[in-house]
A = this chain, B = another copy of it.
Amino acid sequence: VKVTIKDISREAGVSIATVSRALNNKPRTSSKTRAKILSVAERLGYQPNAAARTLSRDKTDAIGVVFHQMTSGFYASVMTGIDLEAYTQGYHVLVTISKGSDPGHDAAQALARAMRVDGLIILDATFNDSALARLKESGRPIVVIQRALKDPQVSSVAPDNIGGARAAVRHLLSLGYRDLLLIAGPPAAEDSSLRMEGCRQALGEAGIDPRRVPCILGHYSSAEALKAFRAYCASQTLPRAVFAFNDDMALAVMKELRITGVKVPQQVAVVGFDDIDAADYMGLTTVRVPMIEMGQEAVRLLAARMADPSAPAKHVLKDATLVIRESCGGE
């Protein structure tokens, strides 16, 4: 069940060089022999051996994706976009989920250095600058999702974190909420800082001192957020509105409120960020990030640099728009 160009050449009565040329649409081949070769290849069910091709062309036609985790809805959606676009561009997709303390960085490096992929997409907020620097040494093009880099060698695609957060807080303020609680991501995460900046801007516009608005750390994790939220509620009065910097945390809070018998939004309004599928189920007002589009865009950016490594890196910002549902301001 394994047919090579050798088989085709024998069957068609030509040399393997001619077969290779015909199969790759190289200019110098008579259309007659080419037709014959193609038909033979078809009949034999020929499939070029990827390894052999990689070895001789120095190109894998595959891209690698490094995840932090993928159960989070957000990642799954971005991945869908990546796969969609990779397919139309003719690339295969390899995935690696970061493991434990060593956040898959070395796995990623190995992927690139071992000639398994032509380029990498990083979908991992824990990927810091030094890890990125090491990865650049592999010499392969890289695209980072979710961080708005300025790096001239690494392309990036990110949502408009500032604008999105600003819109969310403006919405809360316009509804009259003043007693807010913010739930941020990891302090080191760039997108969390930007979302915080968006909050500051909106608060500033309304003449509120941002420093007087309480903020707890949820590390983008529902479990962490829940712990922090409970601790906060134990020592403070319940806020009138909560803005969590991602949906996972917002949904965890909503669940906690429901269980403890607090009505959303009548007693506490909740707003999230991302618009994962579960947000719709829960009727969570949130900032929609175009996840699938971001995945597609990342592949396009990567493809551009793989085609021409000397091309400058691009940095794309996607709009993030407020989606109003029942948890805050909806009907």
- The interface of chain A, by Cβ under 8 A from chain B, is 1, 45, 47-52, 54-55, 60, 62, 69-73, 75-77, 79-80, 83-84, 87, 92-97, 99, 107, 110-111, 113-116, 137-139, 251-252, 254-255, 258-259, 277-278, 280-283, 326
Selected from B49, B51, B97, B281, the residue in CB contact (under 8 A) with A282 is B281
Contact B50 A52 (CB under 8 A): no
Selected from B52, B75, B116, the residue in CB contact (under 8 A) with A55 is B52
Contact A281 B254 (CB under 8 A): yes
Given contacts A255-B283, A282-B281, contact A60 B51 (CB under 8 A): yes
* A107–B90 CA distance with the chains assembled, in angstroms: 11
In this complex, what residue of B is CB-closest to A116?
A: B50
- With a cutoff of 8 Å between Cβ atoms, the chain B residues found around residue A255 in the complex are 280-283
- With a cutoff of 8 Å between Cβ atoms, the chain B residues found around residue A111 in the complex are 92
Given contacts A96-B83, A97-B80, contact A258 B283 (CB under 8 A): yes
* A57–B189 CA distance with the chains assembled, in angstroms: 43
Q: Contacts A47-B113, A93-B94, A278-B282 given; 12 further ones with Cβ under 8 A?
A: A45-B113, A47-B114, A49-B55, A51-B51, A52-B55, A70-B80, A71-B80, A76-B76, A83-B96, A84-B97, A255-B282, A278-B281
Contact A1 B80 (CB under 8 A): no
- With a cutoff of 8 Å between Cβ atoms, the chain B residues found around residue A52 in the complex are 51, 55
In this complex, what residue of B is CB-closest to A281?
A: B251
Contact A71 B277 (CB under 8 A): yes
Contact A51 B48 (CB under 8 A): no
* A70–B75 CA distance with the chains assembled, in angstroms: 10
* A147–B136 CA distance with the chains assembled, in angstroms: 43
* A55–B60 CA distance with the chains assembled, in angstroms: 13
In this complex, what residue of B is CB-closest to A75?
A: B76
Given contacts A52-B55, A96-B93, A97-B84, contact A137 B1 (CB under 8 A): yes
In this complex, what residue of B is CB-closest to A255?
A: B281
- With a cutoff of 8 Å between Cβ atoms, the chain B residues found around residue A326 in the complex are 258-259
13 contacts between A and B (CB under 8 A): A47-B113, A49-B115, A50-B114, A51-B51, A51-B54, A73-B278, A75-B76, A79-B95, A80-B97, A83-B95, A93-B94, A258-B326, A259-B283
Contact A92 B116 (CB under 8 A): yes
* A83–B70 CA distance with the chains assembled, in angstroms: 10
- With a cutoff of 8 Å between Cβ atoms, the chain B residues found around residue A80 in the complex are 69-71, 97
Contact A95 B93 (CB under 8 A): yes
- With a cutoff of 8 Å between Cβ atoms, the chain B residues found around residue A71 in the complex are 73, 76-77, 80, 277
- With a cutoff of 8 Å between Cβ atoms, the chain B residues found around residue A96 in the complex are 83, 87, 92-93
- With a cutoff of 8 Å between Cβ atoms, the chain B residues found around residue A51 in the complex are 50-52, 54-55, 60, 115
